[in-house]
Chains A and B, each alone.
Chain A
């Protein structure tokens, strides 16, 4: 990134301790089991093995419980007696015990908890690795994950000192925040007196901004995620990329010297940077010539290994770029991006609609088609009834009738809706939705179904100036604002809100936006933390995304941090992208 920040961004807190804590606890749990000799993935049924004890390390999911119950019951049938232990991570749910009980194996197993809430993926990203959160909370209205989130906040608070200011928007954000405060009150004194390392916290719900998550990603890290799927901070590059006959697993984080330079760049500048890099590398290799023996010896012992490593990574990333390019040209990537941009800007809606229709008719990709439909709906505050029917019909004809259920889900969550008569949010509606957020007032209405909110994207976009006015070409190599992560066409809404609130130190002046977003904003400051602007921690901001965040948003905020001389760190329930969101909505054939 070329622009120099106002002052140097502070170092993020050390997340290593999170890993150490989790590891120690797991080691302790497993040692109680004595001699764990083999590890299996839970999905694959363990071999008949002679072992007389099984230990399952699982997420608290009903499906998994049934799987375990089957194993236990099968053993019982064949008269085998074993010891079974289930270690739940991050915590046990009563529903799981209920399932075990109903399956009649509750007495046969013992349970334990591994309170592993936070997995640091990189020096500035912590993930809770809970991809199911998105569907469970936003679609099913299931609040069970709020407790783990509050506990995760509690853990951060106890390790990195009290947070100075907390802001947030969204129902889940508010509930999590309140539950966390309750937890803190119950066992006071733990994090107190520690030097605060995190100055600001911003919590946001994914449903505050679906638009950003639905856009095609064009920063390198995002595009790699869209194309290859980054899992837990690493990616499998297939034979197409490695130009050999096997796949290679590559860790993608700031340790990777090549990747760390290009991850936040717009894809169009990546090739340039990579070739620059390869020339530099060559130059370094070339220094060998004209070296005497001693220098050569030093070179081999000190630098060569690093260079070789870099060389390997460079060729992998070049391979990845080539693969992406090939794939993109095949799928009319430019056309898609163009359609997306017109949707964001809100012109030529008809043309975009027929583009989507053609996309469906040609069976380009079920997920992609769905994504474009959703993007159309959410930017337009719902589809006009005619399009709503015809696009859905087309879709069912192309990709199969089972998607009828998918559409139902999308409607419920508010991603694909029909325009209704009254366009803007009425005062009554916003009042009702306010009431619904009060914890006990759930009686008024089932907040998840009947109040599928309007997105009001166009109005918000205008208010916040999300579409930059273009005078001339947007220089993607020298970005001037966060819009660069979408080719200069659109500034991510979620990031813009964070920027605005941090700038204003609160929600003043954003009342209209908040109303359009359906409220649920809050801000609070910890009175025990002095407001000392000289402290480094004042410039460390923890951005919490409930329901997932995309690499584009991460890149945008990293850029903002560099501009403002502060450091953003990220806590998310999972890394997400448009495809993951769409897949979460698809009703799997049972």
Chain B
């Protein structure tokens, strides 16, 4: 630890840089890096490598496109079969972009699986790609091209491809020695060097840029690569330049730091430093963060440094520990000291150093009353996660700063992308992330990957998935099944769907898989009518009419829903439906209904005639007869209408006859009565009512005498009374049979007769009825008579 600062290199007064080895590369590369097209993704991402592309132009030789982890473990490789590759680059989502000479961009995933391709446009195709760059903006990942015509073309977001051609650069005769894409305030520009000048090229114009700082390297050849190397919130701005055998860090001070390179290297800019890739090693060059500086700088008296020292002395059981501690506490800087130690621990790559710093923090915490523990705990957790992913087997050399910028969610996504499911799950469990966004999400991803493993049988895969996933909350089996189907494993998809507890969720996929009948069953099971409709409509388009109807026949719920819909929307279809299963009854009903929509009487009769046929076929004699009668009535009504010039149409039989009588056409009424075999009772009721309404008392009397009334004579009395004709009513009262006579007399108001009748019948209830009507003044005699009779009756 004494030589901890040995690899610190000062730049200017305040800042130090250090270069540390991340991994010794496992890839056993024989070629020099300069012979390969290399691209490494930021945030410790994977490395893509295409060997032999530029040097050997042996026709027919297939160069190999390889993807390695940062530690040099091969993830995947594929022989490059497409056109000449100019540039490789990674998107923010860790997809590999391969830019070809003809401007076609091929997109591969981390495992060299081809995803899609797109073109940078005709202009690029014609003039070829001279150079290309992949850049990242707030919109996503973009591609910039310098064409053979020395023009720049770019697309700021490859997921929403919009090509832009930048204006011509005046005086550009040969490719610029260097150029870069900048993005600021949602505007993307190209910065390029032309001779001694720098130009900024944006959408419309090309302007000269002023110099910010100048430094003389003293090296004549231009550097091979130059990248920023600065950490967030640093006061120092520095760039790293790489030559064949030399590396230089240059800031705004007049000195610089020089490193010797043993072999050809490739620089990868990161948020807080630069990664240096070479054939044998993978290093990280960065500015020492403030907290680390404070603690480790030689002879530092910062509280963190003192605390670290105190803890070491304490471990040695030396009393110096107390002295150091006292010194910090006298300045009341203990909380600051603990904070510094925690922060510095985050910047260390060596677990030993992390531990000693954390131990110091923990030691310091003991002397503090209410120091919030969260920061310490979180740092411990974060470091465990970071150490786990930095392991060379995993090979994601994230720094703490990068990790915080990336967030845990994205880190998990990247682990999932690398198919490191167990590690991802362990991290979720360790950090106690909620299931939905943690474990179950990862399990779902795992399952989606699992279904692509073609070497296992459907049964095995389905079982393995179910075993792992069980009923974990937030898992959608239908999503996994969809993926299985997309991979062409329909049977597996169906097996997986069976694990889906919500039947409604199964339907869309089943439809997609053309298992419509199964889908229909599931939709009905779900109890969601909307879903049933969706499936029914789907079936309707998919099957021919006959099979469609047959399918519905087996699903009454769906059938009745569809009928409901047809009833309102497609009457003709409804007819077909009923025709299909010989439902003549319903067909007849439909015709009847259709008949009512007909304005013309001929149309209506025709519709009814159709209905009649159907009713006969349905063996519904009643309906057939009723319809026949109705046709007969309609014809008659038309006849009447023409002859009597009065609307008869749409009247019921009863009303037709009643209207005829009201208008005095007794003969015709009689005719109808006979033709339609109207029951006597009805006819009599109808006739006396109509006659009374007409006030044709003479005719009524005649009618009453025509034969014995089937409804008795009380109705005559009632009708007459209803029309306030007591005189006529009285005529009929005596003809009323004895058991109703009392009521009849009461109705006409002849209490005397009523009383007599009641007494004659020796009926007490009737006597009381009459008595109740007697008023004391006028009907005294009657009342007395009744009372007497009643008393006599009771005596017996």
Contact = CB atoms under 8 A, between A and B. Distances in A.
Contacts of A140: 560, 563-564
Interface string B752-766: 000000000000000
B433 interface: no
Interface residues of B, number: 50
Interface string B588-605: 010011001100000000
B682 A361 contact: yes
A393 interface: yes
Interface stretch (B66-74, B99-107, B626-634): B626-634
Contacts of A443: 554-556
A389 B524 CA distance: 39
Contacts, number: 139
A99 B556 contact: no
B589 A95 contact: no
Nearest to B555: A442
B222 interface: no
Contacts of A469: none
B418 to A, nearest CB: 34
A331 interface: no
Given A393-B626, A447-B556, A402 B530 contact: no
A432 to B, nearest CB: 13
A425 B633 CA distance: 41
Given A98-B565, A440-B525, A442-B556, A404 B533 contact: no
Contact of B652 (A93, A182, A361, A398): A398
A299 interface: no
23 contacts: A63-B568, A94-B534, A95-B530, A99-B569, A143-B529, A144-B529, A146-B527, A147-B528, A186-B502, A358-B681, A362-B685, A389-B622, A396-B626, A397-B676, A398-B682, A401-B630, A404-B589, A405-B592, A442-B555, A446-B556, A446-B560, A448-B556, A587-B593
Contact of A439 (B527, B652, B679): B527
6 shortest A-B CB distances, which residue pairs? A94-B530, A141-B560, A144-B529, A62-B568, A401-B630, A400-B652
Contact of B524 (A63, A439, A589): A439
Contacts of B189: none
B537 interface: yes
Contact of A142 (B561, B592, B653): B561
Interface in B618-662: 622-623, 626-627, 629-630, 633, 650-654
Nearest to A589: B596
Interface string A437-468: 00110110111100000000000000000000
Contacts of A402: 592, 596
B154 to A, nearest CB: 36
Nearest to B611: A404
Contacts of B676: 397
A102 interface: yes
Contacts of A442: 524, 555-557
B754 to A, nearest CB: 19
Interface string A388-423: 010011101111111011001000000000000000
A363 interface: yes
A445 B581 CA distance: 14
A357 interface: yes
A590 B596 contact: yes
A150 B526 CA distance: 12
Contacts of A398: 652-654, 682
B500 to A, nearest CB: 12
Interface string B133-173: 00000000000000000000000000000000000000000
B20 to A, nearest CB: 50
A178 interface: yes
A445 B557 CA distance: 11
Size category of the A interface is 35 or more
A391 to B, nearest CB: 11
B246 interface: no
B559 interface: yes
Interface in B476-532: 502, 521, 524-525, 527-531
Query: Per DSSP, are chain B's interface residues mostly helix, strand or loop, or mixed?
Result: helix
A310 interface: no
A66 B565 CA distance: 12
Contacts of B626: 392-393, 396, 401, 404
Contact of A394 (B563, B596, B682): B682
Contacts of A517: none
A136 interface: yes
Nearest to A404: B626
A175 interface: yes
B527 A143 contact: yes
B412 to A, nearest CB: 25
Contacts of A448: 556, 560
A349 interface: no
B245 to A, nearest CB: 66
A357 B689 CA distance: 17
A142 B565 CA distance: 10
B542 to A, nearest CB: 16
A514 interface: no
Contacts of B521: 440
A179 interface: yes
A143 B622 contact: no
A102 B328 CA distance: 81
Nearest to A103: B569
A127 B180 CA distance: 70
A404 B592 contact: yes
A399 B654 CA distance: 8
Nearest to A137: B560
A161 to B, nearest CB: 23
A258 to B, nearest CB: 31
